[in-house]
Amino acid sequence: MPHMQVDILVRMPDGNEVKMQCHHPPMSAICFKPQLGPQQAKIEKHGIRLPLQSQGKPDYNKDGTIKKPGKVEVLWVKFSFE
């Protein structure tokens, strides 16, 4: 579920803990509350990106059964240092 702002506490690979935030400005990127526990992340200069899997709308047959499932995409959501 998208949120307007998400605050998280990240334990970095070296053991340090860092407070980070994701902001959702109108009409732009999304924020989400990640699950607790280890996460795959891309570390950047002033933040990290966490993966969020998103599934598109499926195609339906005339009888209402699913013809083709929606395409699964991975979005990388940016969290910045506070």
What are the tens digits of pLDDT across the range 21-71?
886 655 455 777 788 888 888 888 888 888 888 878 889 999 989 998 888
pTM of the model: 0.60
- CB-based burial label for 79 (10 Å; 0-12, 13-18, 19+): buried
Comparing C-alpha atoms, which of 18, 17, 50 is closest to residue 33?
50
Q: How far apart are CA 25 and CA 76, in angstroms?
A: 16
